[in-house]
Every structure is written in structure tokens, then in C-alpha cells.
Amino acid sequence: MMQIGSTLPALNLNQFHARQASFKSQMSPLNPLMRSTSSSSSQSLTRVHLANLEKLLQKPPLPGNAPDPPTVRQNASENKPVQKKGNSLLEGLNLARIWPAMMANEEMSPRHMNRLQRLLSKTDEYSPRNNLGRRWRDYHGFNDWVGMLDPLDENLRREVVRYGEFVQAAYRYFHSNPAMPVDEPPVPGHVALPDRSYKVTKSLYATSSVGLPKWVDDVAPDLGWMTQRSSWIGYVAVCDDKREIQRMGRRDIVIALRGTATCLEWAENVRAQLIEMDKQDQDPTEPTNLTHGQPKVECGFLSLYKTRGAHVPSLAESVVEEVKRLMELYKDETLSITVTGHSLGAALALLVGDELSTCAEDVPPVAVFSFGGPRVGNRGFADRIKEKNVKVLRIVNSQDVITRVPGAFLSEGLDEKLRNTKVGGVLEMLEENMPLAYSHVGVELRVDTKMSPYLKPNADMACCHDLEAYLHLVDGFLASNCPFRSNAKRSLVRLLQDQGSNVKKLYTSKAKSLSLNLEREGMPSFHSCLPSPS
């Protein structure tokens, strides 16, 4: 005031003091938090108007349901409005319920947009790798992963995703150079592993051999190239980093196998007759005396596993030879053997695990991590795997049809329920006489496409069987009764590139705009990334 008085003329100063005396704290009559006692009647009217507005905007209650309690109610004794504690009047309007469009905008709020932008960045962000130490046998299936699957243990989640990425490396290498020389042995190439602490020690080949009728061989003996072909199918790798060995608690040997990629491999897949494991050369069409519990596997899978190529050994011979060499090389260390595969590779992984478990004395613990694998053999084969103490963790998508073939188109849960009823005896009898009496092996980790907030609930078969979709679902899986975890780490780049038609439009449109922003900032868009195998 001293400063004002020193700068204003005397006449203006008197007018300023006169006006200042008439100034009072004015507040809007629509402000429900007004404290002035002179405007208490305005407060009451404002609250009543807001309460009437809320009643007008609320949807009428459904028949048989009690209406929601009003946010503002009139006190009969004091004739004053009473407000619900903890909620303001505007919060009680529940605008998201009145205008559903606001809910979609909330899903794409700045916080969610930042999360989507992070998941679209090309730099992979992984869940933390904790020290497994003395518990490595638990994560390797020593106790069949009891208590670790539902809810999913965070360390096991990271290990499952990591082994799935080893299979993706097999897909990438094969698709980069699918051709293989026919007249000379193949030259091993460089496989880019997702984990630099591992090194590839052996390339693996599988030979498809689909026999033609004898009269075709007599008429056209030069058609052998159409019925037999060897293809690169995977690799053997071993952990070679001291820090990683210390973190995992052992030196890990990994066998990674890709899925179906050639026409002859597809032809092997449909040879669904069960055949005895020690009688691969028998004609599957000839009648045989079946014995209950006798291990049998699919004819096509066993053919791919056991057949030698013109210039390469069979898959069975290569794997056993290399694992024995590594066991001898690291015989003074704690070792583990992990076999992982997707689709056809998941089926072959079971055959590899079965053979490795008895290939030598003092074989390290063997575990199989399979993604989207079909049935491989009968219940006798499943019992044989269990007796050999081979631990199998099957990652299954509920919408993936491949996991329910070959054999009866039933889920494992329904099959178990039927066996516990009077129909169980009939199933046992059919198993002894049916050529397609298949059964799954091991412990199941079930995910669901419908749990992903990004994928359409009616995603097609290709998406439900895609390996990248599997890793996306595992990375977001918390438990069977919980939603997709909000702090999922896996990038959406590959999923959007290969399965864009199965991603919800809300996210594809936002992803396109975000990818343009990333390009402007000098970062590559998701179109330049390697495709996901399918």
C-alpha cells in the first residue's frame, strides 16, 4: 500500500481506498466447496441442482436390480443435503458409464500411449534375470514345476521366453538360406543367437522320406529328389560365459528345433499312423498285434528323426554324438540339457529328450520346453517319457488347433474327465485297437489369445499358432484368473508386422502414428524388423 500511495495522485488514491472497502471475496455460486456463510442458500441450491442433474443423466435401472444409491441424499431431520464421504459430486456422475466412448479414450491415455510407444521400440526390454543359483533344478522341472505355473513364477517366465527365442533364431537362420546342396555336404553357417553367452557347436539336419508306390519307382527311378530331402532344422548350443553359468547354477546345453517349413515336412506331418518306436521300417498299413502300454509314435515324426540323408547323418545320430562330446568336454562341471522347439520342432524335441535320457551313463537332467506342439505318441510313449525322468513343459494356446492333433479332437482336460467316468473303460479298449490313440506328454502351461489386450479375441489359426504370439502371451501371463500383466516387457514390433490383421484396430492405428514419430526421431519403424516365424 505504501508503494501504491507513493505513485498515485491524492485524488486517485482516495478513490482507490473507497473502492477497496467495498471489495469482498466473491465465489461462484456453482462451486460446491464454497465456505462463505452469506451464500449458504446458494450452496444448497447448487447441490440440489447437481443431484437432480445426476438423476436425469443416470440410466434407468434394469428390472430386478436395485438402483444405485444416490450420491446426494436429503436429510429429513435437518433438511440439509448430506454428501457421500470420499466422492465429489462430479465423480458420482460416472461419465465413463454414460458415454462409453470415454472408456476407449481412457485406454489410449498419455500413460497408455507411453507404454505402447515403449513396446514398439526396437530395443528389446527383458524381464530381469535373477540369480537361479541352487534353485536351478526347480526351474528345470525337477519337481514338475509344482506351484510355479499358476500363478507363473517370474523367473520361470523369463526362462520360458528365453528358450522360445532360441527357436526363433533357428527359424531366422533357415529362412535366410533355405536351400541346401543336393550333391555335396552342406557348409555350416553362422547362427545369430539371442543370448551371446551361448555358442553354437553343431548344426542339425532332418531328412524327409515320403515313399512312393513301387510301380512309380520302377517307371521313374529318378524321382528320388521329390521323395527325400534333407533340411537344416536346428542346432546345439552350450553356455560359454562364466557369469551366466554362475547365474544359472550350471552349464546349460540347448538343442533348438524349428517347425515345419518344407513341403516334404508337411507330408511327413500327415503320416499320422502310430508305429512302434523300434520298428520304423514296418509298413504302417499292415495289421499288427497291439499291446496295451506299448510305446508308439507318429510315423512321420519318427521318419524325420531317424532317416539319414545322402550327405548328412540322421537327426538322432547328430544330437547323440554332439551331446556325448560336450558331456565328455565338461565332465567335471554341473550340466543340464534343455531341448526346445515349436510345432514340428516340439514333436521332435520329445523324441530327442527320450533318446538323450539313456544315451550314456550319468546323463545330466533333461528338460523339454515345447511351444504349440502336436501329440506325438500314445499313452505308452507318455509313460515311457515319465519313467525316464524326462521333464516336459508344454506351452499351449487354448485357441491353437495344432495342439489337439493328431488323434481325437479332444482337450486333455475332457479326456481326463471321461476316463474317470464309466466311459473310461471304453476309452481304454479303443486305445488298444484304434490307430490314432494319441496322448499328450508332460505338464501344461496354458495361455489364451483372449487374455491379450492387443490381439483380437477371434484371431485366426495362423496367429494362434505363431511362435511370436506364444512368447507375447507368456510374457504377459500372470495366472489363469488374472488379466494380462500391465508391466509386460516384450516388444510388439514383430507381432504387429506379421499379425497386424489380428491386432485390435485401436492399437494398429496408434502404432502407425507412433511409428511415424519414431522415424522422425531417427529410430527404425517396425516394418524393418525381422519377421516372426509361423
- Residue numbers annotated as active site: 343, 400, 465
Report yes or no: 250 and 335 within 8 Å, Cβ to Cβ: yes
Q: Which of 282, 175, 157 is nearest to 232 (CA)?
A: 175
Question: Which stretch of DSSP H or E encloses residue 174?
Answer: helix 154-176
Question: Which stretch of DSSP H or E encloses residue 81?
Answer: strand 81-83
User: What is the spatial distance between Cα 277 and Cα 294, in angstroms, rounded to a whole number?
Assistant: 9
CA 211, distance to chain mean position in Å, is 37
Straight-line distance from the first to the last Cα atom of the chain, in angstroms, rounded to the nearest whole number = 79
Q: Which cell numbers in the block locate residue 153?
A: 513364477
| CB within 8 Å of 51: residues ≥ 6 apart | 70, 71, 72, 81, 89
Q: Which cell numbers in the block locate residue 507?
A: 492399437
Apex CA 186: angle with CA 239 and CA 326, to 5°?
Answer: 25
User: What is the spatial distance between Cα 449 and Cα 164, in angstroms, rounded to a whole number?
Assistant: 17
Residue 198: strand pairing partners: 239
Q: Which of 109, 83, 105, 85 is nearest to 95 (CA)?
A: 105
User: What is the spatial distance between Cα 152 and Cα 142, in angstroms, rounded to a whole number?
Assistant: 16
Q: Cis before residue 100, ω within 30 degrees of 0?
A: no
User: What is the spatial distance between Cα 474 and Cα 248, in angstroms, rounded to a whole number?
Assistant: 21
Helices (H), 362-466: 379-387, 412-419, 424-433, 461-465
Q: Which of 119, 51, 116 is nearest to 80 (CA)?
A: 51
User: What is the spatial distance between Cα 465 and Cα 479, in angstroms, rounded to a whole number?
Assistant: 21
Alpha-carbon torsion (480, 484, 489, 495), positive or negative: positive
